[in-house]
Amino acid sequence: MATSMFFEFLLDSLPKLLDGLQVTFLLTIVAILAGFLIGVTLALGRIYGNKIISGICIGFIEVIRGTPLLVQLFIIYFGLASIGLVFSPIQAALFGLSLNSSAYQAEYLRGSIQAIPSGQMVAARTLGMTKIQSIGTIVLPQALRISIPAWSNELIYLFKYTSIAYLIQVRELTAEGQIIASRNFRYVEIYLIIALIYLIFTFIISEIVDRAEKRFHVPGLGVPKRASWLRNT
Amino acid sequence: MPMLDVKNIHKSFETTEVLKGISFSMEKEETKVIIGTSGTGKSTLLRCLNQLDPPDEGEVWLDGEELTNPSIDINRIRQKIGFVFQDFNLFNHLTALRNVSIGLEKVKQLNKEKARERAMDELKRVGLEKQINQYPAQLSGGQKQRVGIARALAMDPDIILFDEPTSALDPELIGDVLDVMKSLYGKVAMLIVTHEMGFARNVADEIIFMEGGVIVEKGPPKQMFQSPTKQRTKEFLGRIATLYGAE
Ligand SMILES: Nc1ncnc2c1ncn2[C@@H]1O[C@H](COP(=O)(O)OP(=O)(O)OP(=O)(O)O)[C@@H](O)[C@H]1O
Ligand SMILES: [Mg+2]
């Protein structure tokens, strides 16, 4: 019957889809972490750097945010190859997604840093802390906490948008589904299954991040819920 | 040689000159109170002393070192100058205890355990042993300000600068903070900007009246309150008495 046929199909496709899911996870985790490190650097450079450093950071952030992710991936994968810089699909995707996410994370963090009252920095400097110590022990720990909701959105965004990597031949979840569907033409079923997998893990990720948010919560440190400057997911 | 020597400080913001030549000095463990109308440059003066806002002209000397010398290690000097803010500026992500110990750890390089012990002592001294694990948002204004004082004290400063420490407090909480400040009299030098005339009269060794970016008059409280020599001092004290209630 229809349902048993569906489950048979599901079981047959599952191993390949799980292979793809692993690649999706790899892309997501590397991009969120590398994007975080680069993003923190960009945000600090933009706020505290001299004119030149700040200008470079702003330029990078604006170029990334002003161009589509797909175009960025094409440039890295096809464009750079034409000048002799050859990346494998997965390398190009890891690189592109990390850079892309770093620009967004930098902007979320910048918003948070600028929301910290200036008196916090003044009080730290008054104790005799250097500027770097004040940023590291007073400003950043607060800014990172209030960035958690934005960061959680970014993680979920990334998890779903890694699917774009399929267009540069990365065999992540969506690509594996596409391959299966092109063999047996059962597009509706396979895409429903894929959508369900994304949905389940999106839910799990939100739950984990919510717990992290509670774990790091400090009374009185405002956590703006779902601020309007988040990118749409 | 006085402990703190302030010589002819000038400070402008853009085109307006806020401080127009301020000079005074303080001895070890002395307490002086600065009074004056709003916008007269009292906060600016305090910020010029620890070089948060470096003066344009003039010199500040502490313990025989010139702080206005650009080549001095100002972070080392700032440990010796406590600052207590009108709006507390406690570190919002840290408990009361960590607010006090963080400077000891990061600036004085004490290990965690030593810093913690010292912070406990200071919080006990200001009567907050029960609140050590509370975050700033969980403290009353008066408690916050006492943490602020403990944070300054923990660094073993030569002098503590207070910028209107009770102005943001509900009237019933002011007393606790003033009591703590009184208890520090003679133990550490204090330079206090305040409108609490009762406190100034009872505690200060000297009162400095500032107006229009200069020191109009200074002297012991008795003289300032009973027989000020300058007309402007008289007017100001008269006005403040009607505003805040004479004692
Ligand atoms: N960073 C700044 N930039 C420009 N102007 C400033 C700055 N800081 C202070 N001023 C100006 O300098 C003058 C003195 O300010 P200051 O805060 O020192 O006065 P104050 O005596 O502490 O007053 P209050 O009793 O209201 O606290 C004011 O006119 C103020 O507008
Ligand atoms: Mg002021």
Q: Concatenate the DSSP letters of all residues of A36-66 into one string.
A: HHHHHHHHHHHHHS-HHHHHHHHHHHHHHHT
A223, pLDDT greater than 70? no
Cα A73 to Cα A24, A97, B113, B236: the distances in Å are: 16, 8, 51, 70
Of A184 and B193, more confident: B193
Identity at A210, one-letter amino acid code: D
**Of the residues B11, B37, B42, which should be mutated to test ligand 1's pocket, given the most ligand atoms within 8 Å of the CB?**
B42
CA of B137 relative to ligand 2 center, distance in Å? 24
| Closest chain B CA to residue A131 | B75
Residue A73, domain member (yes or no): yes
Nearest CA to ligand 1 atom 18: B41
Whether B44 lines ligand 1, by a CB cut-off of 6 Å, is: yes
Residue A209, domain member (yes or no): yes
- What mean pLDDT, rounded, does chain A reach? 91
- Six token digits for residue B246: 């004479």
Residue A226, domain member (yes or no): no
Our CA angle for A173, A177, A178, nearest 5°, is 115
* H-assigned helices in B59-196: 74-78, 96-106, 112-125, 141-154, 171-183
> For residues A115, A121, A123 and A128, what is the CA-based torsion angle, rounded to 10 degrees?
170
CATH code at position A76: 1.10.3720.10
Question: What order do you get walking across the sheet with B4-13 strand by strand?
Answer: B16-26, B4-13, B57-62, B65-66
Of A189 and A60, more confident: A60
Residue A224, domain member (yes or no): no
A159, pLDDT greater than 70? yes
Q: CB of B173 within 8 A of CB of B140? A: yes
Distance, in Å, from the CA atom of B210 to the CA atom of A34, rounded to the nearest integer, reads: 55
Question: What pLDDT does B94 receive?
Answer: 97
Q: Which residue has the tokens 């300054």?
A: B152
Question: What pLDDT does A73 receive?
Answer: 96
Query: pLDDT tens digits for A120-139?
Result: 999 999 999 999 999 999 99
Measure A115 CA to nearest chain B CA, in Å. Answer: 13
Q: Is B227 helix (H, G, I), strand (E, B) or coil?
A: coil
A196, pLDDT greater than 90? yes
> Can you spell out the DSSP letters for B49-78?
HTTSS--SEEEEEETTEETTSTTS-HHHHH
- Six token digits for residue B160: 């503590």
Residue A189, domain member (yes or no): yes
Q: Cβ–Cβ of B78/A128 closer than 8 Å?
A: yes
Residue A220, domain member (yes or no): no
Query: pLDDT tens digits for B107-144?
Result: 999 999 999 999 999 999 999 999 999 999 999 999 99
Distance, in Å, from the CA atom of A175 to the CA atom of A181, rounded to the nearest integer, reads: 10
A228, pLDDT greater than 50? no
- How would residue A7 be classed by pLDDT, with cut points 50, 70 and 90? confident
> For residues A190, A191, A197 and A198, what is the CA-based torsion angle, rounded to 10 degrees?
160
A231, pLDDT greater than 70? no
- What mean pLDDT, rounded, does chain B reach? 95
| Closest chain A CA to residue B85 | A123
* Total number of domains constituting chain A: 1
Question: What pLDDT does A232 receive?
Answer: 46
Q: Does B151 touch chain A (CB under 8 A)?
A: yes
A95, pLDDT greater than 80? yes
Which ligand has the nearest atom to the CA of B44? 1
Q: Which of B152, B106, B107 is nearest to B125 (CA)?
A: B152
**Which residue segment(s) compose the domain that A190 sits in?**
2-215
Q: Cβ–Cβ of A126/B83 closer than 8 Å?
A: yes
Q: Cβ–Cβ of B137/A142 closer than 8 Å?
A: no
Measure A142 CA to nearest chain B CA, in Å. Answer: 6
Residue A192, domain member (yes or no): yes
Distance, in Å, from the CA atom of A93 to the CA atom of B88, rounded to the nearest integer, reads: 48
What is the pLDDT tens value at each position of chain B, 247 positions in all?
A: 899 999 999 999 999 999 999 999 999 999 999 999 999 999 999 999 999 999 999 999 999 999 999 999 999 999 999 999 999 999 999 999 999 999 999 999 999 999 999 999 999 999 999 999 999 999 999 999 999 999 999 999 999 999 999 999 999 999 999 999 999 999 999 999 999 999 999 999 999 999 999 999 999 999 999 999 999 999 999 888 776 655 4
A interface test, pick of B79, B93, B134 with most A CB neighbours within 10 Å: B93
Residue A233, domain member (yes or no): no
- How would residue A227 be classed by pLDDT, with cut points 50, 70 and 90? very low
Question: What pLDDT does B1 receive?
Answer: 85
